[in-house]
């Protein structure tokens, strides 16, 4: 499947500008303090799905700061809602590795692109809760991440897809100027370890394992 999908690579000059600008200018100017722990868990190579909790639109800037090019040397592609891909903003973020998903009327296109990217060993961010939730509790996860990871493993046995759980917390439900941020990166889940059963059962168990891991991370990632 992945060989038939044409994916436009992110713009190198824009990536080299945007990642440092985000980490060293935009985020430090807006937020009071950003703490990131667990960066040693970021895989430096191979297919990875970044699976963060979703608490704010700022998450799309916090995740690249925590795991992206300035830290791991890797670009993180993003699956984003189609509303984010409109106008000038859409033109810019598409050149940074974003592509749309229609959450109201989902199509196979975004799934096909995700599988293609992972089959090529890329790093991809998908928010497993789906929407933004202004709460401290991890919500019931969608099964899409697990299914994508398992489909890639089935298509390319031994490729080694990993799912990296990330807890994002803000000191305010609606982040304002000087809000504090805490990011905790957990140990990756190995998709292949859930393959010894039907795809439906494997998807359910991998999704539950991710949800449990995110809940544990979130519990230990609180503000004092």
Whether the full predicted model's pTM is greater than 0.85, yes or no, is yes
Q: Hey, what are 1's tokens?
A: 């499947």
**117 neighbors 124 (Cβ within 8 angstroms):** yes
Tally of CA atoms within 13 A in the half-sphere of 71 that contains its CB: 20
pLDDT score, position 9: 85
pLDDT score, position 1: 43
The residue among 165, 81, 149, 80 whose CA lies nearest residue 117 is 149
The widest CA-to-CA distance across the chain, in whole angstroms, is 50
Q: What is the fold, at CATH topology level, of the domain defined by 9-219?
A: Glycerol-3-phosphate (1)-acyltransferase (3.40.1130)
**117 neighbors 3 (Cβ within 8 angstroms):** no
Dump pLDDT digits (tens) for 152-177: 999 999 999 999 999 999 999 999 99
Dump pLDDT digits (tens) for 48-101: 999 999 999 999 999 999 999 999 999 999 998 888 888 888 888 999 999 888
> Coil, helix or strand for 104?
coil
Who's near 148: CB < 8 A, 6+ residues apart? 49, 111, 114, 115, 118, 126
């Amino acid at each position: 499947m992945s060989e038939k999908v044409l994916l436009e690579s992110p713009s190198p000059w824009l990536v080299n500008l945007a990642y440092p600008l985000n980490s060293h200018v935009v985020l430090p100017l807006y937020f009071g303090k950003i703490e990131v722990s667990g960066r040693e868990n970021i895989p430096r190579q191979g297919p990875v799905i970044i699976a963060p909790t979703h608490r704010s639109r700022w998450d799309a800037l916090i995740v690249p700061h925590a795991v992206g090019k300035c830290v791991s040397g890797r670009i993180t592609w993003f699956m984003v809602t189609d509303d984010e891909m409109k106008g000038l903003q859409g033109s810019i973020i598409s050149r940074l590795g974003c592509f749309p998903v229609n959450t109201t009327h989902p199509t196979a296109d975004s799934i096909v692109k995700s599988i293609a990217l992972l089959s090529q060993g890329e790093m991809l961010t998908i928010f497993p809760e789906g929407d933004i939730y202004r709460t401290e509790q991890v919500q019931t996860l969608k099964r899409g991440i697990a299914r994508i990871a398992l489909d890639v493993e089935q298509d390319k046995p031994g490729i080694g897809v990993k799912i990296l759980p990330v807890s994002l917390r803000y000191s305010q439900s609606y982040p304002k100027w000087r809000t504090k941020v805490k990011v905790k990166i957990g140990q990756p889940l190995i998709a292949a370890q859930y393959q010894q059963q039907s795809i439906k059962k494997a998807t359910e168990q991998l999704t539950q394992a991710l949800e449990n891991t995110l809940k544990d991370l979130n519990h230990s990632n609180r503000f004092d």
